[in-house]
Amino acid sequence: MPQATSDTGLQSSPDDAQPRACPACGSSGYQRLAEYSPDHWEMAECTDCGFVFLRNPPGYEALKEEFAWETTYRAKKASSKGSTPFSPVARKIRNALRMSRNKSRSYRRWFGDGHVLDIGCGAGHRVRAPMTPYGIELSTGLHKIADERMRARGGYCVHGPGAEAIWEFPEETFDGILMYSYLEHETEVGKVLAGAHRALKPGGGVFVRVPNYASLNRRVVGPKWCGFRYPDHVNYFTLQSLTAVAAKAGFTTRLVNRISLHIDDNVSVLLRKKPTS
Ligand SMILES: [Zn+2]
């Protein structure tokens, strides 16, 4: 099996990287996945719960600038070209499903026309009118753009890591929270989900979309799978592991991409607060 190669094209250094325990169950037992560990980045599988994660992620400070999402995304797009053998069929099915579902319409159906927080909001275009947009963004450049855009529509964007910034909002503020291509970047999974639970109104929901580690494509193309991005993807979820971490934070999980899940490179779910007994 070919070895994965680092795709950032940057002179990365794990100087501030601290080995971490399994973000799903807290266990420190792990097995190194050599074929998925390029350069000095160490991918691990938890020996207790099977969760796959980057053991030595860079600190938040490095992610603000050097490993900012917009930088590593461009590099990965170039290095993954031609690594999707199922693309002609899978892409057609996925596109058909995608076209049939207008994302913004889904958000409004789930969250009404209320206040919606987008964690890892990038440039802040995802929450459309008449919903009121709020955001959290770690990248310095993108935060500035998003904040201007959101303030013009009655909301605002906080600059910082999601797991810390989420606690700055008052309790029960949001009708909906988006974690769109965000949770795979977050080293503090339990903390951000707990914060989302607190910041969500009763009856509100959290939409989560992350790369699907259980996808057929990952199992076939291995290290060249489009979901691997070093070092900024630090968690590799399956539907089962996502459901488990969400349950710990007090959420029930409903699968959104039920029909396409096994051939989809992403898994999408809607979390609701568990009823309190
Ligand atoms: Zn574990």
Domain 62-74+86-273 sits in which CATH superfamily? Vaccinia Virus protein VP39 (3.40.50.150)
Nearest CA among 271, 248, 270 for reference residue 257: 270
- How far away, in angstroms, is 237 Cα from ligand 1 center? 11
Nearest CA among 253, 266, 234 for reference residue 163: 234
- How far away, in angstroms, is 187 Cα from ligand 1 center? 14
- The pLDDT assigned to 269 comes to 98
- How far away, in angstroms, is 18 Cα from ligand 1 center? 17
- How far away, in angstroms, is 156 Cα from ligand 1 center? 36
Mean pLDDT lowest for which of 23-37, 71-85, 107-121, 225-239? 71-85
CA distance 70 to 75: 9
- How far away, in angstroms, is 241 Cα from ligand 1 center? 9
- How far away, in angstroms, is 195 Cα from ligand 1 center? 21
CA distance 37 to 6: 9
- The pLDDT assigned to 95 comes to 58
- How far away, in angstroms, is 10 Cα from ligand 1 center? 30
- Beta bridge partners of residue 269, listed in sequence order: 208, 255
- How far away, in angstroms, is 239 Cα from ligand 1 center? 15
CA distance 223 to 274: 37
Say yes or no to pLDDT of 89 above 70.
Answer: no
When pLDDT is cut at 50, 70 and 90, the band that residue 201 belongs to is very high
- How far away, in angstroms, is 26 Cα from ligand 1 center? 6
Say yes or no to pLDDT of 155 above 60.
Answer: yes
- The pLDDT assigned to 275 comes to 84
Strand duo 132-137 + 115-119: pairing:
parallel
CA distance 178 to 207: 5
Say yes or no to pLDDT of 86 above 80.
Answer: no
